[in-house]
Amino acid sequence: MENNFDLEEIWNKGAWTEQARNIINSLKNSSFDSKTILILRHSQRYEPKLTDENQYMELTSQGRTIARLLGAKLPKKRTIRLFHSPVNRCKETAEEIHAGFNEIGGKSIFKGECTAVWGIGVNKQFFISELQKYRNIDIFFRWAAGFYTPDEWPSLISYCQKAAGVILNQFKLAPENCIDIYISHDWHLTAFRFGWFGLPPDDRWVDYLGGFAFTFEKNHILVSDYGEIKTVEAPHWWKNKR
């Protein structure tokens, strides 16, 4: 187990924690004082030897401890609600964030499993075969462009619309100062970022505990994205859901 000095060093200077640090800093901005949605990738996991073992990889000791530290760095005055993918490493990440926030005296509500941030519906063997031929970013754009049949991989936009409906319905029930936190996976976050905000992926991809925060203003959405705060329009179908 890492000591406190090592953990602070990892948090403050680690390459894989940079995106998480950016998110925490963005949440200090007054623009995010109202109800906010935060979508995060799970914390650091063990690396699988085979691609098809990915689903079963648990968090490392460092991953669990840094997730707890992230929870302790969330703004204490806010209420947080935690949702997670059915995959165990996402549940572990949510539990550690919940524990870290409680340790500083924050109010955390553990809501539990949310299938909307899982279940893309891709054929597993087909996905593995694509990974052997293309880079992640190339596969993503092929998916977004509609290269694949519904049996191979359902459309990106239909998945994003369905997930948005679930998340927005929960958002309507959240307390006014709440941060709704969803723990998901890199592919899902990349899909949401593109399908909801029109922000294409690049070679940075999504690191452990990386992701984005967003809140709604009158005529637009404010997004914390890789350390930048961006103003984007909502897609027409999302306006109807709101």
* DSSP designation for 10: H
Residue-wise pLDDT for 146-171, tens only, equals 999 999 999 999 999 999 999 999 99
Whole-model pTM: value is 0.94
- Confirm if 203 and 141 have CB atoms less than 8 A apart: no
Residue-wise pLDDT for 172-200, tens only, equals 999 999 999 999 999 999 999 999 999 99
Distance CA 79, CA 167 (A): 17
Ranges in the chain, pLDDT < 70: 1-5, 48-56, 239-242
Distance CA 162, CA 151 (A): 18
Looking at the DSSP bridge assignments, the partners of residue 184 are: 41
Q: Which domains does the chain have, with CATH numbers?
A: 4-241 (3.40.50.1240)
CA-based nearest residue to 40, from 55, 57, 26, 60 = 26
- Confirm if 43 and 209 have CB atoms less than 8 A apart: yes
